[in-house]
Structure 1
Amino acid sequence: MLVGKAGKGGGKSSIWSGVPRWARTCTIFGVVLMVLSGAVLVGYEALLSRYEGSVGKADLFGDQAAGAQERKSNVKGPLNILLVGIDPRNPETPPLADSIMVLHVPESLDRAYIFSIPRDLYVDIPKFDKAGYRGGSGKINGAMSHGSIVQGENPSTPQGFELLAKTVQKVIGIDRFDAGAIINFTGFQKIVDAMGGVDMYIEREVRSEHREPDGTHRKGNPNGAGYIGPQAVYKKGDQHLSGWQALDYVRQRYPKNGVPDSDYGRQRHQQQFIKAMVNQAFSADVVTNPIMLDRVIRAAGQSLTFNGRGSSVVDFAIALKGIRSENVELIKLPGEGIGTGSAYRGERLLPVADDFFAALRDEQLDAFMLEHPEFRNKAK
């Protein structure tokens, strides 16, 4: 059931159960944390330590293993932050990067660019001695899995993140990331719950592959692949989405369900949801309500593992406090499939994407975007 946007005197959906275990959306959550946390935390000193204490910490870049000293410094731009969403399965299963996003913040720290790396992007994955990986070619989401292998122990997600970061750095052409985060599913339902749902514009009608109108899972087709039964429908226009609806909507990627551009459409919907969630989090309902804000911040911290290479998540959040949703540019990197049908090998970026990366490195993205408006993913 899709609940329309509530007006005066209207209620909002209270259907919160049964949120799918799907971590691609978790990366959205990480972007929201990085962009809005500073603004809502400034002036709430009691929440700062609680937020900082709840965020997981790990050596995501191998700095500690390399003997780097922990340092405290002011966060200065430009910044490149890698955000990876994972679906935490059993501890014996090597993790896959289900979603990969990069947040680029210019030197002025007053705006940001967000772009997704296609998880099927076919790339060269570098040699990684820690995991005994000799290097090779494959889909980029597998880099985290290759890098996570620890002899005689369960796979290490932070170690896998390190190889993924090295791989994405090669794609973009940068020497290092300034920070990184792993976002799991656990806290996402709680943050949407705490915010009372999210208002967003749906660009075209989409039908759910996975959910019935009441939010229950559709049943598997006994006669073959796929699902059977009624489908939840997300109608075009301004809508108010509850937790399961928001997560389900940004999961959809099949043309038969109303997403003609498949995974690129899903990436666009994820980015649109980022801006909608930021707007919701900046609303008076959240920012001026200490009890609600406390719930949001604690749920946020519980879903995040962060490494700021010497600076804390709060340091980064406060440094980014001047960014508002209208100053966040959503980017679509142009690409195409390699092979079709059973011969499909993955995705590749078109040559103009290299020009985008060059503009990023040279701090010329504003000029680049003026010349290439087709790179903009519209939020509405």
Structure 2
Amino acid sequence: MVEQTAAPRRRWHWGWAVLAAVVLIAAGSVVVTRLVGRSTVEAPPPVAAPSSATPSPSPSPTVTVAPPSPSPTRPPGADIKGPLTLLLVGVDTRVNIPGWEPHSDAVLVLHVPKGLRRAYLFSLPRDLLVDIPAFPKAGYRGGRTKLTHSMSYGSRVPGRPKRPSTAQGYELLRTTVSRYTGLRIDAGAVITFNGFDDVVDSLGGVDLYVDQRVPSKHRRPDGKHRPPGPGGYVGPQMVYEKGNRHLNGWQALDYARQRYIPGGDYARQRHQQQLIRALAREILSQRLARDPDRVQRVARALGDTVLFAGGGLKLVDLAYALGGLPPTAFTLVGLPGGGVGSGSAYRGEQLSPLGRGFLPALRAGRADAYLAAHPQLRVRS
């Protein structure tokens, strides 16, 4: 009997580690303030008639959840076969200011195809120009603007201008991302910067290859915040030099936040994804996987900030389902793009045809073939 229960228990610990790794990151941050999951979801909202540069979405994936087994020993989530798509959103640091509407500073999508043996992680630019649908509960009529605004517009609560709803903002962002990508979003996390240091430090730090010199806008070499000045932050800067580095909690957070560097927000997206992979490797290392108590300490570092809501897809079920992912399962994908302007005015970003072409390939189950044909889209760690 011990051997019959040991494997499911190990898989649950492993699955929780995977789940922790993927929700630890958006914008290099980790306290989950809202986690939303659904076991059965309506088809994605209709997509507006595409232009010649916009691929039409394929039929959306479904999450297969069989009826609960009558067996009392059946492990949780054993009937979840996928595909699963998780939306990870990093919000700006001013969410604690009364009346401040949350903006999505980082938008990452993790897609796990049917069978749950591989996972593809890609980012959407915060300034991506998208069609945001009307959202009556927030009084928003819809329009074409930057993706980051969908969360702020959706967070507005009529009659409560000083109490925006982050969960409501996530709802409009989720719909907007679903329309743009053609993927159904099955679960998601809204993440702030608070608490990241403790989680990474509970792992003993993280080993990461820094692929370019990154000066910090926000931190001094001793970790203290740089004070603001007339032309921006002033004083000594922390600098992350190119090469293999071991980063503690505040350093990992700070490194993943920087976008005023060569490559701009696209470089920041790449660094966030590399951090996800590095954390996944650390969490899923044999040393940690064989130490369930340490996995639990990492989980406890998230505290009571993980809130889960859904129609049958429970947090423990999702953790167990993801427990089948091997440590090498994560494929990081960088979607190239560029700025869009009207005259001399900057309007936002758009993905290149090469970047946009990955989305229909992913929906159709041809992601590996597309990446083989376009290896430059793979993000190297």
Tell whether the structures are fold-level matches, with TM greater than 0.5. Answer: yes
Aligned counterpart for 1:177 among listed residues 185, 189, 198: 185
Aligned counterpart for 2:146 among listed residues 116, 127, 139: 139
Which residue of structure 2 aligns with residue 331 of structure 1?
Answer: 333
Which residue of structure 2 aligns with residue 81 of structure 1?
Answer: 86
Deviations, residues 137-189 of structure 1 (Å, cap 9, x unaligned) = 21101101111111223211111111111111111123x21212222233322
Deviation at 1:59, TM superposition (A): 6.0
For the 8 Å contact 1:200–1:241, the answer to whether it is kept is: yes
**What is the 5 A alignment of 1:242-261?**
242-255=248-261, 260-261=262-263
Which residue of structure 2 aligns with residue 163 of structure 1?
Answer: 172
What is the percent sequence identity of the aligned residues? 49
Aligned counterpart for 1:195 among listed residues 197, 203, 208: 203
Deviations, residues 168-217 of structure 1 (Å, cap 9, x unaligned) = 1111123x212122222333222112111111111122221221111112
TM-score (norm 1): 0.77
Partner letter of residue 298 of structure 2? V
Deviation at 1:286, TM superposition (A): 3.3
For the 8 Å contact 2:117–2:324, the answer to whether it is kept is: yes
Distance 1:214 1:318, change over 3 A: same
Deviation at 1:91, TM superposition (A): 4.8
**What is the 5 A alignment of 1:211-222?**
211-221=219-229
Aligned with 1:151: secondary structure?
coil
Distance 1:41 1:58, change over 3 A: closer
Q: Residues of 2 paired with 1:109 and 1:282: CA distance?
A: 16
Distance 1:59 1:288, change over 3 A: closer
For the 8 Å contact 2:110–2:122, the answer to whether it is kept is: yes
Deviation at 1:243, TM superposition (A): 0.9
Deviation at 1:82, TM superposition (A): 1.1
Aligned with 1:201: secondary structure?
strand
Q: Residues of 2 paired with 1:120 and 1:199: CA distance?
A: 30
Deviations, residues 312-343 of structure 1 (Å, cap 9, x unaligned) = 12211211112234221101111100139971
Structure 1: runs of 5 or more not aligned:
1-36, 45-53, 65-69
Q: Residues of 1 paired with 2:376 and 2:168: CA distance?
A: 36
Partner letter of residue 207 of structure 1? P
- Which one is further off, 158-167 or 302-311? 302-311
Deviation at 1:309, TM superposition (A): 4.4
Deviation at 1:279, TM superposition (A): 1.1
Deviation at 1:353, TM superposition (A): 3.0
Distance 1:341 1:278, change over 3 A: farther
- The number of aligned residues is 321
Q: Residues of 2 paired with 1:271 and 1:344: CA distance?
A: 26
TM-score (norm 2): 0.77
Provide the aligned C-alpha RMSD in A.
2.9
Aligned with 1:90: secondary structure?
coil
Structure 2: runs of 5 or more not aligned:
1-8, 17-30, 42-64, 69-76
For the 8 Å contact 2:288–2:294, the answer to whether it is kept is: yes
Aligned with 1:149: secondary structure?
coil
